[in-house]
Chains A and B, each alone.
Chain A
């Protein structure tokens, strides 16, 4: 693209910035390649960045002075030194960072966090979820960031009440905190949190071993809007009663899989909060009774309800939908009592429906789907997993009416055939399509998808054994934006088809499990073409030889996760892979018949500083050097011994 200087002189920088703001990320990439001025606009306007390699951090921070959001979650080798460098960098962008994502880091410790918290005064949002080794000390360090508003600490397993108390006291202005899977947190911590952080609006206490006492404390939060308590097995209806009269602003409650919660507990929530918008009660209520429906009638603003796994009769469904007309999302998976009658009533009443989950509702037929497609033009997500009665007729209605459909899950719907896919392909906005275990589809059907669904981002063809190379070629030609492709156990595929995948520039997730016909040639082609590949599953691809792995080692620089189980990779190739894939973090290396113990040792030593997860055969535990295992452990790598 050539740009004459005269146009540039007309477009002042602020105008360029305004134009730039309308662009979506892929276009921005093109934008910054146009000219130096455009690049300047890009570097000045960019506010968010996700760094893939720590090595580039200083340069990028320097390039983008106006960053406010920094995501380091996918960087390997993220440790204290990086964080310290970040904190002491002193560039404008560091000091202005408001949002920082450090999740899944394995070596960030109190020292780095404390410096960071002290230096970056603007810090408002921090995500330390799944950080290995994030404990009380790290929490104490982080509590120096007094301006913190949002904090995500999911699965910080060594975080206890003491650490939480430090955070709570240090950052008392918290709006949002997520403590999911922080298994050490008890009632005392939650109680203190609720006593001090009065401004809390969103709280996630899922999977914690907290009791009704915590709910009593939570109910005292005056501004609480969102409360997630998935699978809190110690909480019962008596606890939920505290919520009836507390937390006046509550709008969203998630009590999914709370074993002891029954309908009466839900009723007390509903009774106290007529303005509630979201209610997720999957797999905890066994039945939707008349008394519950009576209360739910009052919920004029309810937008989302999930009652997966409950016995919902058709009449209940009709009553529910007739009272909550603003419903946009309904989760009815495993509600085995739901039939076409109920669904037709629902479709009639909820015209704004956007998301419908009917997974495992075995009695739902094409009639129901047609009714939904007819009445709900806004439908975006439809999940029909294991609805065996669905045939091409239902899909025809979807293709005709649901033009906004973005996500369709037809996993295990063996009524779906090539004709059905042809109908579906008319949904031109489709982004995610799951056709796993649909054994009746062939190249013909896939060809329709490939030719029409150009916006497709995700395609799952797990065990679609009847489609072959031609179909894949059509997909590769048509769905250029695909970034997630699952071809596991599509046994017909050979190198010829797989080679076509290289056309998918944006592919980042590829599963080729059990493709016995592909060889090193196919893999080499993929590796050459798909440069963004981050996830690759090659389990049971027994015929790939070393040339493929060498190519992979050379080209797939962005590979983060790789499954090589049962591959015939040699010592050399494995060593090359592990040492050359500089972003690799998660490796499955089970049943590698050609790799010796020394080969494992060698390969793991080459990548031990970046591994986060590793799967190995159990006997190797005693064969690998203890020094290697210690280094892996010290680096926060979790090893699963198979």
Chain B
């Protein structure tokens, strides 16, 4: 079963195995706008695909040269984000930028006053565009600078999914990682030394991190490959951090920062950012070949970051996890809250959404439920179980609960108690009709009955149907009807006691 998680794993796997060698970049004064328009994630090793556009920025060339193919540029930039000096330079850069813009606008204002008539439409547009671009770049710069601060609160934010609009200017970065991406894309021109950082990062245990970048073609593998007997040392152990395991997205748009689970989805998304992403090369699936000339690969196994877990490499009887998917599923199942509740039974909870989906396929099929909580797919099995265990009874599922007639009857009577309820047909009788008219609901007045004629067949003089304005109210009423009094008056019968209340026949 190929789920999105697999792909997430896949990409995480490749990015997590990067070296933490910081990217080196020059301190050129390249403008931000220029950068954003040109900058490409050229390094296949970083995000596991080739954009197919050669970097035109010098910094990337340098990086490529110095940091080999698998330099974790991203991590490097991230490291910078924590440097106060970087921050300072960023701020001064922005200040400078704002000043420039200010000058430009001043100029425009001055010119606009004098030469208003002579300016043709095109020139005005160009200037406007220029200002807009500059402003946008400043805003993005500001956001990225602020975003670099986000890792400090990432523990709170990385787990809580938040609304993410994906608009470049919207400055909402629910995920620290995304923020960092943007930060990196705007700050890669600031050269900084490698810093120690406690960002979410893959801790590569093995020594040979420079070779480990390759494609993990994720199969449908379960994480319970207990029977595997690999001699220790015959494989390398990788351990992802909790945050990376739990991150919802592994692919991020370099322009707007939107995250994706699948690389292919990102590429589709990129098309919207310009024609250069629509080329066949840009859309092609990145080649899977790893670093050329790499030596025979060592088998990789994974360790759970949870200390004390059997899947943690520190455990005495450590049993490694086979794939990234296994890591993800294992970690979620074992060390996370089960936040997905089955929408059918409302009892079963899962931490892996795929498990929930699997359950939902079968949920309800085991409809034979015992009071002890055991479910059975067959009725006879349940009854056998009940016969076997004393005190166990079949449970009556809630779904079978019908709206009880008593409640609806109560509803009916309560309606009856309300004089102007919609439930009442407007029985407008004689003189009461006018009084009652406004109390009847619009739709029901259609059923209005004129009883003037049928109600006087016996020509009761004493029978005043004016009393019938009470009638609609009593229609559903339990009590002795108003008719009783009425007849007494009408027929001249004397009131008599109600019939036998108790019958004498014994049971």
Contacts and interface: CB of A to CB of B under 8 A. Distances in A.
Interface of A: 25-26, 28-29, 48-53, 56, 60, 69, 71, 74, 77, 79-81, 99, 101, 106-107, 109-112, 132-133, 136-137, 140, 143, 161-163, 165-166, 169-170, 188-189, 191-192, 195-196, 531-532, 546-547, 550-551, 553-558, 570-572, 575-576, 579-580, 582, 596, 598-599, 601-602, 605-606, 608-609, 625, 627, 630-631, 634-636
Contacts of B392: 169
19 contacts: A48-B507, A52-B502, A69-B507, A80-B406, A107-B405, A140-B393, A143-B393, A161-B379, A196-B387, A546-B458, A557-B498, A571-B451, A572-B455, A596-B449, A598-B449, A605-B476, A609-B409, A609-B413, A634-B408
B454 A169 contact: no
Nearest to A547: B458
A477 B449 CA distance: 47
B116 interface: no
B38 interface: no
Given A165-B383, A165-B393, A576 B507 contact: no
Given A69-B507, A554-B493, A136 B405 contact: no
A580 B383 contact: no
A106 B408 CA distance: 13
Contacts of A630: 408
A627 B396 contact: no
A162 B454 contact: no
Contacts of A81: 406
Interface in B451-507: 451, 454-455, 457-458, 474-478, 480-484, 486-488, 490-491, 493, 496, 498-507
Given A196-B387, A546-B457, A50 B503 contact: yes
B504 A28 contact: yes
A531 B476 contact: no
Given A50-B502, A109-B405, A636-B405, 7 more contacts: A166-B394, A192-B387, A532-B500, A571-B455, A572-B455, A580-B487, A601-B447
A161 B500 contact: no
B427 interface: yes
A110 B449 CA distance: 39
Contacts of B380: 188
Given A550-B487, A602-B449, A625-B425, A52 B501 contact: yes
Contacts, number: 184
A621 to B, nearest CB: 16
B483 A101 contact: no
A25 B409 contact: no
Contacts of A599: 454
A140 B487 contact: no
Closest 10 CB pairs of A and B: A557-B499, A598-B449, A634-B408, A579-B481, A25-B504, A605-B475, A571-B454, A169-B393, A162-B394, A579-B483
A41 to B, nearest CB: 16
Nearest to B429: A602
A132 B451 CA distance: 35
A208 to B, nearest CB: 16
A79 B406 contact: yes
B417 interface: no
Interface residues on B, range: 35 or more
Given A25-B506, A166-B394, A546-B458, A188 B383 contact: yes
A364 B258 CA distance: 100
B226 interface: no
Nearest to A186: B379
B404 interface: yes
Contact of B487 (A112, A553, A635): A553
A631 B476 contact: yes
B275 interface: no
A603 to B, nearest CB: 10
B454 A570 contact: yes
Interface of B: 379-380, 383, 386-387, 391-394, 396, 400-401, 404-406, 408-409, 412-413, 423, 425, 427, 447, 449, 451, 454-455, 457-458, 474-478, 480-484, 486-488, 490-491, 493, 496, 498-507
A634 B412 CA distance: 9
Contacts of A625: 425, 447
Contact of B476 (A99, A109, A111, A608): A608
Nearest to A582: B480
A52 B503 CA distance: 7
Contact of A554 (B393, B405, B487): B487
Nearest to A531: B499
Nearest to B503: A50
A60 B502 CA distance: 9
Nearest to A534: B503
A576 B483 contact: yes
B409 A631 contact: yes
B387 A195 contact: yes
Q: Name the residue among B406, B413, B481, B487 with the largest chain A CB count within 10 angstroms.
A: B406
Nearest to B378: A188
A13 B230 CA distance: 97
A635 to B, nearest CB: 5
Contact of B401 (A69, A71, A99, A137): A137
A109 B490 CA distance: 41
A189 B423 CA distance: 43
B286 to A, nearest CB: 58
Q: Name the residue among B401, B409, B457, B487 with the largest chain A CB count within 10 angstroms.
A: B409
Given A107-B405, A188-B379, A580-B483, A596 B507 contact: no
Nearest to B493: A554
Contacts of A140: 393, 396
Nearest to A533: B499
B491 to A, nearest CB: 6
Contacts of B409: 79, 107, 609, 631, 634-635
B451 A48 contact: no
A45 B404 CA distance: 39
A570 to B, nearest CB: 6
Contacts of A575: 483
B54 to A, nearest CB: 72
Nearest to A56: B501
Contacts of B400: 136-137
A606 B483 contact: yes
A137 B484 CA distance: 39
A546 B456 CA distance: 11
A49 B502 contact: yes
B500 A169 contact: no
B447 A598 contact: yes
Given A99-B507, A605-B425, A169 B391 contact: yes
Contact of A572 (B394, B396, B447, B454): B454
A579 B487 CA distance: 11
Given A137-B396, A550-B487, A606-B475, A191 B383 contact: yes
B507 A50 contact: yes
A635 B405 contact: yes
